[in-house]
Structure 1
Amino acid sequence: MPKSKQVLSDSEDEEGTSSPPKGKKAKQSEEKSGGDSKFDSEGRLELSKNRFVSVRDFKGKVYVDIREFYEKDGKLLPGKKGISLNREQWLSLKDNIEDIDKQLKAMLEK
């Protein structure tokens, strides 16, 4: 797989060990406690049900990880579906948001 599309292991954290994310109930109680960050204590921002974004360090490199999770035994676990963007890719995406929005708007108007 090319380095530009490097994907983090589905179940490994920064140190390469398995650490399943907290369940939804714990996340909701954290959100109610306040604070400026929209990220939970696990460093995840919920995009939609079972889809999260996080900023992670993996093998000394920083990635923006967008991933689907699934529920098993009451716990949310990372799935295979997802993408990890390195800093360069993330900045390119950010720089092109307006053009992406224009394309999206054009497609929705059809």
Structure 2
Amino acid sequence: MPKNKKESSSSDSDEGPVDRNPVPSKKAKMGKSDDSKTSSRTDDKEPTWVLAGTKLVKVREFKGKCYVDIREFYEKNGQLLPGKKGISLNPEQWRKLLSIGDEVNEAVSSMC
């Protein structure tokens, strides 16, 4: 009987599996298309920079405190929303990260 069930189901499409939630292009989401600038800051209400695709850096306030949020975002109903993948650093942690930047760059250069 499962064989008959499989044969009786029909599909209007022969294109195979389709991603029902394709990732919109960076230009469509961010509203900027000038790749010649070194900064990729957007015109958002929160200072925002695009790392790549939907990976963003934002300076934002959450529960009355300021954070540097490095996070992967997703689109829902035309809005970019923060996803689970990411990290929020308070200003002290952000400054510490910046202070070790040269050491991290050296390690990346020697390993990658």
TM-score range, shorter chain: 0.5 to 0.7
- The higher radius of gyration belongs to 2
Off by >6 Å, runs of 4+ in structure 1: none
The one of 16, 27, 31 equivalent to 1:28 is 31
Q: Is the 8 A contact 1:67 1:79 kept in 2?
A: yes
Distance 1:37 1:49, change over 3 A: closer
TM-score (norm: length of structure 1): 0.62
Return 5+ residue gaps in structure 2 as ranges: 1-25
Structure 2 residue matching 1:78: 3-state secondary structure: strand
User: Structure 1 regions of 5+ residues with no counterpart?
Assistant: 1-22
Aligned to 1:16: none
More contact order relative to length (CA 8 Å, sep ≥ 6)? 1
Identity rate, percent: 46
Pairwise CA RMSD of aligned residues?
A: 2.8
Size of the alignment, in residue pairs?
Answer: 84
How many angstroms does 1:89 deviate by?
0.3
Provide Cα deviations, 1:62-104, integer angstroms capped at 9, x if missing partner. 1000110123455432211110000110000000100000000
